[in-house]
């Protein structure tokens, strides 16, 4: 499957991925990566931000912090990515990370049925503790292990559509397939949101200016009238 086959749809913006230690930014967002232990959350984030992949499994303890910097049109976006641990033991700790997250990336592994079934639990937890307008991506990782696949692409897509998630995508942290793309798509979506709110703010400012001008001209008229009086 080529990248072109991926059903990622969003407006095309001019963008450039910047080094992860780039310090300047105009807009900053908090992202959280969640899902069962071992699905590849850390590998995926490492691949996307540092182009590193490790075959050995080092379970995350608590969380790990990453950054992804990107310039879209004339704005530099900094994604602050909180890669969380999937172990049950730390679940209550993770709920603190849901708050103030603009976007959540839920990961399962295409060769492990249980990790896909547990997505329901992750989504419920997320909805319970995050802001109502949090954006949610569903990621089916480890597509390089096609011969071990137990979750069809269509199942992931259906779950994503049924639950009105913002994006469904299959990835491989090992080959890098779509790894960076999910963070680029996250950035585009957040940038789109920024433009929408900016437009509303501009309109609000325009209305405010209009009201202000009307009020001013009324005041002037009143003053003129007063003068006249
Ligand atoms: P926790 O930190 O315990 O929550 O796990 P995690 O979701 O962060 O998993 P991690 O990224 O540590 O990966 C777990 C194991 O899966 C490691 O041995 C990785 O090498 C392997 N792995 C991760 N992504 C892929 C992938 O896309 N393909 C293959 N073949 N293996 C992968
Ligand atoms: Mg991890």
Q: Please write the tens of the pLDDT for every residue from 115-168.
A: 999 999 999 999 999 999 999 999 999 999 999 999 999 999 999 999 999 999
Percentage of residues of the chain with pLDDT beyond 70: 83
Question: 84: burial class by Cβ within 10 Å (0-12, 13-18, 19+)?
Answer: buried
Greater confidence (90 vs 149) lies with 149
Ligand 1 atom, smallest distance to 53 CA: 20
Ligand 1 atom, smallest distance to 173 CA: 27
**Residue 7 confidence (pLDDT) above 50:** no
Backbone angles phi, psi at 72, to 5 degrees: -120, 125
Say which residues have a Cβ less than 8 Å from residue 6's Cβ, sequence separation at least 6: 169, 170, 178, 181
| From 35, 38, 112, 142, mutation site for ligand 1 pocket: most ligand atoms within 8 A of C-beta | 38
Say which residues have a Cβ less than 8 Å from residue 10's Cβ, sequence separation at least 6: 185, 188, 189, 192
pTM, two decimals, is 0.86
Protein residue closest via CA to atom 28 of ligand 1: 142
C-beta separation of 202 from 196 below 8 A = no
C-beta separation of 7 from 57 below 8 A = no
SS3 state of residue 121: helix
| From 40, 46, 144, mutation site for ligand 1 pocket: most ligand atoms within 8 A of C-beta | 40
* Ligand with the closest atom to the CA of 149: 1
**Residue 25 confidence (pLDDT) above 70:** yes
For the segment 30-82, what is each residue's pLDDT rounded down to a tens digit?
999 999 999 999 999 999 999 999 999 999 998 999 999 999 999 999 999 99
């Amino acid at each position: 499957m080529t990248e072109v086959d991926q059903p990622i749809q969003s407006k095309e913006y001019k963008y450039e991925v910047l080094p992860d230690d780039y310090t300047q930014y105009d807009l900053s967002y908090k992202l959280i990566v969640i899902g069962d232990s071992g699905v590849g959350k850390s590998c995926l984030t490492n691949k996307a931000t540092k182009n590193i992949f490790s075959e050995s499994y080092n379970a995350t303890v608590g969380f790990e912090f990453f950054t992804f910097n990107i310039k879209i049109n004339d704005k530099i976006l900094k994604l602050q990515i909180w890669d969380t641990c999937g172990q049950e033991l730390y679940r209550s700790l993770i709920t603190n990370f849901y708050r103030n997250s603009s976007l959540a990336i839920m990961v399962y592994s295409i060769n492990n049925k249980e990790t896909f079934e547990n997505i329901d639990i992750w989504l419920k937890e997320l909805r319970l503790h995050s802001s109502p307008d949090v954006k949610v991506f569903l990621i089916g990782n480890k597509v390089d292990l096609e011969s071990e696949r137990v979750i069809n692409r269509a199942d992931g897509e259906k779950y994503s559509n049924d639950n009105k998630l913002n994006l469904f995508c299959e990835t491989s942290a090992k080959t890098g397939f779509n790894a960076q793309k999910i963070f680029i798509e996250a950035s585009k979506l957040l940038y789109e949101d920024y433009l929408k709110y900016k437009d509303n703010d501009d309109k609000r400012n325009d209305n405010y200016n209009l009201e202000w001008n009307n009020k001013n001209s009324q005041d002037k008229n009143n003053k003129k009238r007063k003068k006249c009086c």
